[in-house]
Structure 1
Amino acid sequence: MRVARRTSPSATIRPARLIAAALASAAAVVALTGCSGYVEDICSGGEYPVSAVGSTGSACVKNDEEPPKGYTRYPEGKVPQHVDDKWDVYWRTHMLDKDGTIVDAPEAG
């Protein structure tokens, strides 16, 4: 004679709880680390960054083109490559004047 086995409700829930706990742990890891390995380029491929003359503005220009009127190339060695890199941060508080001289940008008020 066969006896029917009763399974407790917790026995059927246990795999679901395990999966939920694993997903929650994975979500926590992503939330805590974010996209720490991701670096955003200043310009897209085939472009280079240029500085607005007399302001902290910037733009991207195709590699085979000259900067448009009102823009100039960054000084050699001081070209921002990635968002929040050393030079991107620097050019937020500095600018190039009409003579190409680096000057402090006026404080926003």
Structure 2
Amino acid sequence: MPRRISRPTNVLRPGRFQAVGSALAGTAAVVALTGCSALKYQEDVCSRGKYPVLQVNGPGGDCVANGDELPAGYTRYPEGKVPQQVNDKWDVYWLTRTLDQDGNVIDLPDAY
């Protein structure tokens, strides 16, 4: 009966390296062609544990710790119009608007 020859299981096979190299090259091409848009960083308006508030009749805003009272002269944003990230839809919207003492949205006279 002929003897069976065993081979080590960790033999390097050139085909595997070619496949891995092709996959890495393809990934690099996708990242280069998309301009790294998937890796875009967006800064939150407030840090964790805080929520944004709007200055009444003024251009300012602030962040208040959850559970704390609102500072005098500030109010919460209207529901559904709260900015989450810097330069998102609602952050840009509130650059030129604010709320009056009755909660009505008004244009800022010196908006930029």
- TM-score after normalising by structure 1: 0.65
Which residue number in structure 2 is paired with residue 73 of structure 1?
76
> How many Å separate the matches in 2 of 1:89 and 1:81?
11
Give the count of matched residue pairs.
79
- TM-score after normalising by structure 2: 0.64
2:87 to 56, 73, 84: 84
> How many Å separate the matches in 1 of 2:41 and 2:58?
28
SS state of the match for residue 51, structure 1? strand
CA RMSD in angstroms comes to 2.0
Segments of structure 2 that go 5 or more residues without pairing to the other structure are: 1-31
SS state of the match for residue 59, structure 1? strand
SS state of the match for residue 91, structure 2? helix
| Moved beyond 3 Å, runs of 4+ | 32-36
SS state of the match for residue 87, structure 1? helix
Kindly indicate whether residue 47 of structure 2 is the aligned counterpart of residue 44 of structure 1. yes
CA offsets per residue over residues 28-68 of structure 1, 9 Å max, x none?
x7xx7699510000000000000000012100000111211
> How many Å separate the matches in 1 of 2:108 and 2:87?
18
Which residue number in structure 2 is paired with residue 60 of structure 1?
63
SS state of the match for residue 99, structure 1? coil
Segments of structure 1 that go 5 or more residues without pairing to the other structure are: 1-28
> How many Å separate the matches in 2 of 1:106 and 1:34?
36
Do the aligned partners of residues 78 and 108 (structure 1) sit closer, same or farther apart at CA in structure 2, a change above 3 Å counting?
A: closer
